[in-house]
């Protein structure tokens, strides 16, 4: 494949996996699996595009009209979703392609036309080794209570990582798991655990109502999709304080940045109380980025920063010394922590990613260069 198109192959040439039925947009979703695409983008008067290995590529050269896009996407939206889209100019929902993949779809208006962004969610829930994630995540998922936060931008692998952790619990612990999602992404089959998944807009009117009644549903483990506001985080923190294991996500790029982002949700006079609650209830922060891989069988691979809230980390949070957390992470690899620089070094040495890719996303390229030469650096200078 070149950067402009999918090797000149049109959408119609993609294998369709059996007799076609259902919605007309299904052919695009089936083709995503054929090309191992993570996202589909539709925009008026522009050819349909896939994201493959992190790059946007045309499927074919034929532009789609706005009327064509609306015919494709409106066919799989119900009356309520259509009404909300027309009122708000944006709508999120999930779509299941038979027994195959699910898709998280955002329909949005731009310059008076309808655009679509669809993320493919594979049916199979992969484990840590298959996802090339550190085994220390399993220790976090084994905890009985507290808060585990996954941080990163959209498309960084947060949902896939949480799914692996929830599935670990599902396979190993007799408990009740409740998820509140907008929309539901991965679907779970009950194993040792039993799981109730609530979709905002379908099963409950909004996040506020879902969180209001959450504790009456007798959960042991809770997944709250995205912490978008003060109320959502306060509810998540309350669940952690009352003896539950809580997973949640936030848009942040590092462990200290995650703490800052949380505190910014609250008024100045509330922040000391929230910080104290984090000291007692935060178990870990997992920051993720998804990178283009070198191997054909691993087109995209995660790099991560893992902070585990040990005694030193809790003390730093309590004393508002968040800027010192990276140094503790670097000194605590033996406890399962890792920073982005070490994660990138390992990926380069295992030939999963290129040196160019690693330097492009490294928090400190000079430090990464030294690490790749076998020189370890701390905040106090070279240490080995």
Q: pLDDT tens-digit profile of 233-272?
A: 998 999 999 999 999 999 999 999 999 999 999 999 999 9
Residue 137 above 70 pLDDT?
yes
Q: pLDDT value at position 274?
A: 96
Q: How confident is the model at residue 284 (pLDDT cuts 50, 70, 90)?
A: very high
* Better-predicted residue by pLDDT, 99 or 44: 44
> Rounded CA gap, 240 and 179, in Å?
14
Better-predicted residue by pLDDT, 281 or 201: 281
Structural tokens at position 184: 């539901």
The predicted structure's pLDDT at residue 9: 46
The model's pTM is 0.85
**pLDDT confidence of residue 383:** 32
List the chain domain ranges.
Answer: 11-121, 128-382
What end-to-end distance do the CA atoms of the chain give, in Å? 43
Pairwise CA distance, residues 24 & 30, whole Å: 11
Distances (CA, A) of 32 to 7, 36, 59: 14, 6, 10
Query: pLDDT tens-digit profile of 177-236?
Result: 999 998 899 999 999 999 999 998 889 888 888 888 888 999 999 999 888 889 999 989
pLDDT for 378: 54
Question: Closest Cα partner for 246 from 274, 268, 272, 214?
Answer: 214
Classify domain 11-121 at the CATH topology level: Beta-Lactamase (3.30.450)
Q: Is the pLDDT of residue 6 over 70?
A: no
Q: How confident is the model at residue 380 (pLDDT cuts 50, 70, 90)?
A: very low
Q: Which residue has the higher pLDDT, 22 or 216?
A: 216
CA distance 263 to 274: 7
pLDDT for position 155: 85
- Residue 89 is classified by DSSP as S
pLDDT category at 44 given cuts 50, 70, 90 is very high
Q: Do domains 11-121 and 128-382 have the same CATH topology?
A: no
Mean pLDDT of 39-44: 96
Query: Nearest 5°: CA angle at 143, between 142 and 144?
Result: 120
1 pLDDT exceeds 80? no
**How many residues are listed for the chain in this entry?**
384
Q: Is the pLDDT of residue 146 over 90?
A: yes
Quote the tokens at residue 308: 């585990």
> Kind and range of the H or E element at 50?
strand 46-52
Nearest to 148 by CA among 283, 278, 274: 283
User: pLDDT value at position 377?
Assistant: 60
Percent of the chain with pLDDT over 70: 92
Strands in 221-226's sheet, in edge-to-edge order, are 194-199, 176-181, 221-226, 245-250, 146-151, 282-292, 300-308
Check residue 20 and give its pLDDT: 38
Segment 292-320 shows an average pLDDT of 95
DSSP state of 74: H
CATH class of the domain at 128-382: alpha beta
């Amino acid at each position: 494949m070149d950067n402009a198109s999918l090797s000149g192959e049109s959408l119609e040439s993609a294998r369709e996996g059996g007799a076609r039925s259902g919605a007309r947009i299904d052919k695009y979703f089936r083709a995503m699996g054929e090309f191992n695409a993570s996202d589909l983008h539709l925009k008026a008067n522009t050819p349909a595009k896939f994201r493959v290995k992190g790059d946007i590529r045309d499927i074919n050269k034929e532009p789609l009209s706005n009327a064509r896009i609306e015919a494709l996407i409106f066919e799989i939206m119900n009356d309520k979703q259509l009404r909300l889209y027309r009122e708000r100019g944006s709508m999120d929902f999930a779509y299941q392609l038979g027994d195959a993949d699910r898709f998280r779809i955002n329909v949005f208006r731009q310059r008076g036309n309808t655009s679509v962004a669809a993320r493919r969610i594979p049916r199979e829930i992969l484990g840590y080794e298959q996802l090339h994630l550190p085994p220390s995540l399993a220790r976090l998922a084994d905890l009985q209570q507290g808060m585990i936060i996954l941080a990163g931008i959209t498309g960084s692998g947060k949902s896939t990582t949480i799914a692996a952790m929830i599935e670990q619990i599902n396979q190993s612990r007799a408990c009740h798991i409740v998820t509140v999602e907008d929309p539901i992404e991965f679907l779970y089959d009950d194993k040792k655990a039993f799981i109730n998944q609530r979709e905002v807009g379908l099963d409950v009117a909004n996040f506020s109502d879902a969180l209001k009644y959450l504790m009456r549903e007798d959960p042991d483990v809770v997944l709250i999709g995205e912490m978008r506001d003060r109320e959502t985080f306060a509810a998540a923190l309350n669940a952690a304080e009352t003896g539950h294991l809580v997973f949640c996500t936030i848009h942040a790029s590092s462990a200290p940045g995650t703490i800052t982002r949380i505190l910014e949700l609250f008024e100045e006079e509330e922040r000391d109380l929230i910080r104290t609650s984090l000291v007692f209830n935060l178990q870990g922060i997992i920051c993720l980025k998804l990178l283009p891989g070198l191997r054909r069988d691993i087109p995209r691979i995660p790099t991560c920063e893992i902070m585990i809230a040990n005694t030193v980390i809790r003390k730093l949070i309590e004393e508002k010394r968040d800027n010192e957390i990276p140094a503790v992470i670097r000194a605590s690899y033996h406890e399962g922590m890792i920073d982005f620089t070490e994660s990138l070094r390992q990926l380069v040495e295992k030939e999963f990613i290129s040196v160019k890719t690693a330097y492009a996303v490294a928090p400190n390229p000079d430090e990464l260069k030294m690490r790749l030469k076998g020189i370890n650096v701390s905040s106090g200078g070279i240490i080995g």
